[in-house]
Chain A
């Protein structure tokens, strides 16, 4: 019995314990208007440590029930919360919890803490790498090029060429359409930065859809994706600038429109501040130039006035100019796969330069120095246009492009070399060409035909006053002027038939073709006395006509697998070249070359490429002249009918590493080149005249180059850095005064680029350091060190008033001369949004008023120092607007 009582008591204790430890809280919640609220969260937390003890959720009637273990508490807080309503919290004691709880809630702020996955500024999908412009854009950026040049892995060269991982891009698209082809610098330098949403790199890009599975491309394309508010309406930039001293102006108007099936860019720019806008209209893709070179389409100055080498600094420091450029470009999509493009450029450029040149010629027995001062005026006019029809589907590709180009140049120079000589160079170059290609594929076969026909005419004349070299040309009697005239006509055509077949991982391609060249080349050396132009001597005139027929077959086999890509091509040529020279030189030759590339893609980050290739090139027909030509006022040259040939053999090993998530890009390459050419010029001096006579000689030219580049984006400094190293050694044979010698140049170059951001300011620092050792084999090496560094600092103390400071320092250390140091400074202050979309900029250039600049360059046995008179301190006020 006693055990039973104890048992019952124990049960009672346990039972009453439970009763005392658990309480049930009931309540309801409604809105201020009295409507019951469901799904309200009611949380009971410990008052002191705020830990959640229990909770309830109200039902559709607004009622809730909460069980609470009240062992450890004195007071609690009870919190009512519902999204879209203001939460309420009450403090309640243990006793108060026994009552019915209720609360009313008022409608409140709809808040939701936003969490975004850290958007990687760079992301990769398949073969496309996307750079998000938002992550890279800075306050001071005005056009896309300002953003692109700081993207890791991408670099823009001085000439405007965009390179990805060290290789040139092969296409520049805007919203998937190729408006400008090789003239992409025009878009890159003018599309407003705030119109761009993303920049995409298309690795291994094959622009021709039909060739997609047949050829392996190791170049990348770039595609600019615009913001939605930049599409389908006229956008663009404009600028009006005035300054002094003397009177300066800088204006531009660039309207553009990018619609879903048409694109237009029109650009008109003029300035006399030294800004070389014509560079934007340069054709940058050097892949397809062989036909243009053979047809003599590009400007080809056979005669010239000596021109100093352009220094490695902004043109605006030393160029005095008066430039107008107009470019009209339009692309219209006729349907989803075909488009019609029209491009027209006009350039009118007047350039002045005041410079001096010191040339030191090293000979085994002698050293000759030449000091020239010259005042040059160049007057250039260019009109160029093309009409292009493209149809690009997976099964068929067709394009036809009609081009024409006319260059009219007149250069004048006054050169003082002991005595004063005035020179005038006239050139008219006119060319018209039509090219096209048709490709058809069906399942694994591809057939195609391509054609190119061109005609070009190029009369040039170099006039030198007073007549020079009286002893040679006029029996020691002075005469008025010496004139060299040349006229070159070229008719060129090329037809190719392409066949390609794909068999699982192999693809075979065969190009069989014929090209015809007909050239007629007349040169005359005349003297002018008393307004009469007479031929000096028959032996100084050329009348060359020549023909070349090249029948070729390029066979290529590709192996394309995920990790390994191999391509082997064997070009075979049968070349017949014949001209009417008295020596009757001609070529009748069958020769083979090879080009083998192996690319091993170890994983998505790393790949290695090895390439062996050889090439056999014959220079154009017209170069095999048999009599002298005065190529410039100091050089008389005779090629003695030798048909120039260059044999190239090259091995390149390159490795590419990229880690897109860490934004790290590394590329390295070694290239060994072993070339042999068959012509050597013997140089002899007759006073200040160099007489060069060609003779047949097999000359080896060797070079070995190693380069490596690394570029990385660093989150902690909010910027990126790039470092490049180049080591190169070149050797060639030169002949001076009947003696052959080996000439070597060794170069060590280190380039660096650092971009960092501190708060809202940014600093871009670039430096180039070069050591050059050059000289003839048995002589002492001349050592020259060149160090250039530039710092561009953007200060954004006020977001709407960015300040740009540019400091440029150049150091020249030569054994033959004293050290030179140059320091330049520029300031530009911009006030943004003075009016709705207009910025005002005040810029001060060359604040330290540096008067002169010097550069050094090497060739064979000469060291050339050029001096430039610079533009003085200048002030310019510009109003820039975007629309």
Chain B
């Protein structure tokens, strides 16, 4: 058997045929993400539409609303939006600003956070999720799905995946199943992902061109320091960065933000400490 393996490897090395220059087929999926952030408010569930762009080797997970806003600002808008009272363009909706990039061949994933004037990237090793396939099957939106279960980041997730779409991608950090994850939820029902729409797409999945690599520790320090002194920090950052406008672009509360915003309290984060 070992000889066979060596022969195979030789064949692979020897026959270096020109690769197909076809770009990899890719798809675009929109998920509805629900997260019960504060267990003391069970009726207030954070909901957001998330976008998953995937192909055979990688995937990108980000906010769908940001994607839509970008395309609206790129195309010419109709004047009539100015006439009507509630112009939806000027409304700001809460969204996740970070993006996740997964590359299976390199077994690495990147956490991209937009910073002031540039993007900050944290590189990580993909944690292999130990999925156990269960017996159930069901049909979702015309797709035959099978059920798998795994413990990941402090929660037990159940995921319905569709082998007819043979990619290992899934929403957020859930991946590694032999089919696209259509629906996933954790046993306590605090986290839920469900697929809303699926279509072909032609975008390449690649990291942003300009970014600054940091470690998780450095990133946590950055977040903490901005919480302590936002205006000072932003002033310094703007003056030191490549933005065209060197002065502060935003007017912040100069008295400092020591008071925590009680509305945004999360006592049930996605990743639990084990």
Contacts and interface: CB of A to CB of B under 8 A. Distances in A.
Interface string B1-31: 1001100110110010101101011010010
Nearest to A99: B1
A127 B200 CA distance: 33
Interface residues of A, number: 60
B253 interface: no
Interface in A162-185: 173, 175-177
Dominant secondary structure of chain B at its interface with chain A: loop
Given A38-B57, A42-B178, A113 B143 contact: yes
A60 B78 CA distance: 49
Contacts of A260: 76
A41 B178 contact: yes
A116 B104 contact: no
A95 interface: no
B54 to A, nearest CB: 9
Contacts of B167: 39, 83
A204 B12 CA distance: 69
Contacts of A53: 133
Contacts of B5: 28, 100
B198 A41 contact: no
A204 B83 CA distance: 11
Contact of A126 (B86, B168, B197): B86
A348 B179 CA distance: 71
A82 interface: yes
B104 A39 contact: yes
B89 to A, nearest CB: 10
B141 A115 contact: yes
A57 interface: yes
A36 B11 CA distance: 10
B134 to A, nearest CB: 9
Interface string B153-189: 0000000000111111000000011110000000000
Contact of B79 (A43, A87, A116, A177): A177
A564 interface: no
Contacts of B66: none
Contacts of B141: 115
Interface in A94-127: 99-100, 102, 107, 110, 112-117, 125-127
A60 B105 CA distance: 6
Interface stretch (A13-21, A205-213, A567-575): A205-213
A34 B14 CA distance: 9
A54 interface: yes
Nearest to B197: A117
Given A38-B104, A51-B135, A60-B105, A125 B12 contact: no
Interface in A38-61: 38-43, 51-57, 60-61
Contacts of A173: 80
B193 to A, nearest CB: 15
A194 interface: no
A115 B142 contact: yes
B142 to A, nearest CB: 7
B146 interface: yes
B197 A33 contact: no
Contacts of A79: 163
Interface in A1-45: 28, 30, 33-36, 38-43
Contact of A84 (B24, B79, B82): B24
Contacts of A57: 168, 176, 178
A60 B58 CA distance: 13
B87 A52 contact: no
Contact of A28 (B8, B91, B197): B8
B255 to A, nearest CB: 26
A582 to B, nearest CB: 55
A125 B88 contact: yes
B51 interface: no
A82 B30 CA distance: 22
A127 B86 contact: yes
B190 interface: no
Which of B15, B166, B167, B179 has the most C-beta atoms of chain A within 10 angstroms of its own C-beta?
B166
Contacts of B142: 113, 115
A845 interface: no
Contacts of A28: 5, 8
B83 A83 contact: no
A39 B80 contact: no
Given A55-B133, A83-B166, A112-B200, A34 B12 contact: yes
Contacts of B257: none
Interface in A112-170: 112-117, 125-128
Given A39-B57, A57-B168, A30 B199 contact: no
A205 B198 CA distance: 36
B137 interface: yes
A43 B84 contact: no
A472 B82 CA distance: 67
B8 to A, nearest CB: 6
A114 B163 contact: no
B133 A87 contact: no
A81 interface: yes
A54 B91 CA distance: 48
A221 interface: yes
A83 B55 contact: yes
Interface in A594-638: none
B198 A114 contact: yes
B130 to A, nearest CB: 11
Nearest to B82: A209
B112 interface: no
A112 B29 CA distance: 11
B56 A205 contact: no
Contacts of B25: 83-84, 110, 112
Given A177-B79, A205-B84, A82 B166 contact: yes
B123 interface: no
A113 B165 contact: yes
B266 to A, nearest CB: 28
A100 B4 contact: yes
Contacts of B88: 125-126, 128
A381 B27 CA distance: 63
B209 interface: no
A55 B177 CA distance: 8
A60 to B, nearest CB: 5
B83 A205 contact: yes
A461 to B, nearest CB: 48
B85 A43 contact: no
A202 interface: yes
B197 to A, nearest CB: 5
B78 A36 contact: no
Contacts of B100: none
A62 interface: yes
10 contacts: A28-B8, A38-B57, A41-B168, A51-B146, A79-B163, A83-B55, A100-B1, A113-B165, A126-B87, A205-B83
Interface of A: 28, 30, 33-36, 38-43, 51-57, 60-62, 79, 81-84, 87, 99-100, 102, 107, 110, 112-117, 125-128, 173, 175-177, 200, 202, 204-207, 209, 212, 221, 223, 225, 260, 336
Given A34-B17, A202-B84, 15 more contacts: A28-B5, A34-B15, A43-B163, A52-B133, A55-B178, A117-B196, A117-B197, A127-B86, A175-B80, A204-B85, A221-B83, A223-B78, A225-B78, A260-B76, A336-B79
